[in-house]
Structure 1
Amino acid sequence: QRIHTGMKPFICTECNQSFSQKGTLTNHQRIHTGMKPLNCTECNKSFSEKGNLTKHQRIHTGMKPFICTECNKSFSQEQYLKKHQRIHTGMKPFICSECNKSFRQKGDLTKHQRIHTGMKPFICTECNKSFSHKTSLTKHQRIHTGMKPFICSECNKSFRQKGDLTKHQRIHTGVKPFICTECNKSFTHKPSLTEHQRIHTGIKPFICTECNKSFTHKISLTIHQRIHTGMKPFICTECNKSFTQKINLTIHERIHTGMKPFICSECNKSFSRKISLTEHQRIHTGIKPFICSECNKSFTHKISLTIHQRIHTGMKPFICSKCNKSFSQKTNLTEHQRIHTGMKPFICTECNKSFSQKGHLTIHQRIHTGVKPFICTECNKSFTQKTSLTIHQRIHTGMKPFICSECNKSFTHKISLTIHQRIHTGMKPFICSECNKSFSQKTNLTKHQRIHTGMKPFICSECNKSFTHNISLTIHQRIHTRMKPFICTECNKSFTQKISLTIHQRIHTGMKPFICSECNKSFRRKGDLTIHQRIHRHQRIHTGVKPFFCTECNKSFSQKTSLTEHQRIHTGIKPFICSECNKSFTHKTSLTKHQRIHTGAKPFICTECNKSFRQKGDLTIHQRIHTGMKPFICSECNKSFRVKGELTIHQRIHTGMKPFRYSECGKTFVDKETLTMHQNSH
């Protein structure tokens, strides 16, 4: 009757929970008392309830009374059967509140949620590494313990994980369970099949985070990334020279061993590489198989044809990783790169001075030999370099071939014109590495840098006070001599500095040359104008007024400096120049980012793996590896991507666009990389 009435007359004195039957209360009270009166006769384990003992005893008896009606699989407990039946019904009642992914078991949901929470509750006591799953910790701990519990029955080789043993056993059985649906080729391991299928699909899932180049195999990406990281893990034991690939080390080692396994059948000359033998044999056969399609000139070696064809195509494929300058030949790039690396392999035997190019060493050696082969026909003066003679001859001819396009002023030397033109362009290419202040001439930078270094090379002979600039010493010495050479013609007042006299004379002339562009108020001194202009700048913050308009596009700005920066879009002026490679930029911030290529600075660091990046945007893209974020979603098929460029390339599958066209054969391609590969096949 209590089932219908809901009466529960049996109440627990500990927690006031009520029950309909006395036996149920008795079982419940054992929670408080800790009593476990029911013992297993097999192992003496004790239980508080008979049902729990019954379930436990099935371990010993092997009983599995709960049978699946779909597949006849049996289970020792009803709850295990219910979980199993969800395989057949497809029920996944446990849903993630973050991403709506559903699971058959609550435990699987709990594990999944750690992806969102970042929780890794299972910690290794040896090295404090943490894991999201207990099984992952168990596998990891075998690294410390050395345990390899999974043993091959054929050869006794042992493994840490069962999956590794299963893969290994296929060596003995010859089983290749993974079959390609395209060509029926079979493989021992699933990853091998996956890699093979990319031949058919064209998928290249391994993408370089530095340059977005993609690869079919992970090992190809690893080798490629060494271009960016500079890693060369294969080291010669003889000379410590390192290489990015093992095959290159093998070829190099033949230098030390003297091995030359490839022998010419005509003259018995031997070579360390097969390709070298093939090229050599063309001396005997006279074959020149590489023919230029433009002019029909033929070559013995393919590389000679490739270099020659760049005359026609204008291609310069060898690009400096520091400053992006390009070259048609690798040797030219090598010479150029010495600017960045500082390498100077050509050394003078007389004074040990070193040079980056052999030609520069030859010119230098004339200092020691006294040779001056370039002689002036007018005055017989001789020079070590032809350029020095050419410049000298302008004294006799009066030539000033370097003319300013702005004001037609002419100069004898190109450097004089370059310095002069900075008056018109506003260029200041010499930048202080301490504070980024820029200068039009190197001498001005040198003077400025003394502020940071504290150098004061100009010393007063009277009081030993030192100065950064010579002019400052000259002005100071007038304190001792009491000289005031600058005299006002109006009132005879004298001054130690010319600038002080100039400012003073404005009292008499009434001149106020510094005019406010906002309100036309004028001032005698520049400093007074600067203080005044702060009033206008402050007022605009509150009023929102933008009085400075671009005459090209009518865009308005609150400050004149912002307008000046904007106008460079229209004029093309790039006043911020890199002192390393002379590349120029519109904004100072762009120069700062670029300079990190030369300095190697990577200030943006990933908190997950400590990988560092030059730009914040690169860090943001990288962090998506850890977060799993793919914010760029295809509107056609909802496939998502980490990088916008990947989405753009993908969308061409839907649109059919192939924007990269090869001019030789008219064939078009989805991406630039595929075009490049095609070009190499011609």
Structure 2
Amino acid sequence: MSSPQTKQKGTKKPKPHRCQQCKKDFSSRSDLTKHQRIHTGEKPFSCAQCGETFIQSGHLRAHQRIHTGEKPFSCDQCGETFIQSGHLRAHQRIHTGEKPYSCEDCGKTFTHSSTLQKHRLIHTGEKSFSCNECGQSFARSGSLKSHQGTHTGKKPYGCEDCGKTFAHTTTLQAHRLIHTGEKPFSCDQCGQSFARSGPLKNHQRIHTGEKSFSCDECGQSFALSGSLKVHQRIHTGEKPYSCQDCGKSFNGSSSYSNHRNIHTKDKIYSCQHCGKVFSSYSSHRAHERIHTGIKPHQCQHCDKRFYSSSDLSVHERVHTGHKPYCCGKCMKSFSKSQSLKKHKCV
């Protein structure tokens, strides 16, 4: 005969402590106290390094690893390390393909609960977090917090290797991969590897041919929203990036960065095959494909392949007839910027 003291299998732990704000129940007084800070806004645990405050001491300890660089949780599949065990569990779903979080409105599934929450705002359109400085509103508190850094100029997160500071922890984490050289995310099609999953997803559109961002002026489509924004400046004439040395202006940040190296004579990217050096990473990467033979950029019209996306864009104008470069004097248009320059010299 079993003792009355024996805990039966499957018996749920009682939750006698109720929050009067939202009626949620908790098994211990301490859990209720932690929870109530969500309603009161109290954050009693403060980081000595940057002053950021937290509701729980555990959250503070996890945050402090950003400053120390400690990443005790490692992925068995690719070796990537993480500050928190929860981040590791979420990362492992990239390898397993598991997407346990589903949208009730459209059925789309997600790897992370946070991604589902962001997605739901597409359906609701809610933007409840507003900036006191400029009035811009955001769907998430994290986005508001990131935005507010543009007003304060605060960059509390520093790289231990080079001393460079950042406004956001995610930007610091991405930057650190420059020093480690780690690229755990690899393309199944061509083998190119990436430091983060986001750039891999963008890269994969080269192979799928997906171009969901279209220009209202000329109809040209792009794989990335950023590429569309830069392209649209051809039509508007906007060149927001200006060189402090010579005054020359550019419509894209990458063009501006490449130009800046003319003044600094900085060539920091070296080809491991022939030793040739380059001032920009994109030029270096495109050059190395000459040695490897990899041509990841394929034309959707004739299946011709190219080393770089810029070469593909120029080639596709043969099929589309698109001529984005226009002479201001005679209004004659050209498919290449070099052709317009030659024309102006006549």
TM-score band by shorter chain is: 0.3 to 0.5
Q: Which has the larger radius of gyration?
A: 1
Tell me which of the two structures has the higher relative contact order, counting C-alpha pairs closer than 8 angstroms and 6 or more residues apart. Answer: 2
TM-score, with length taken from structure 1 = 0.25
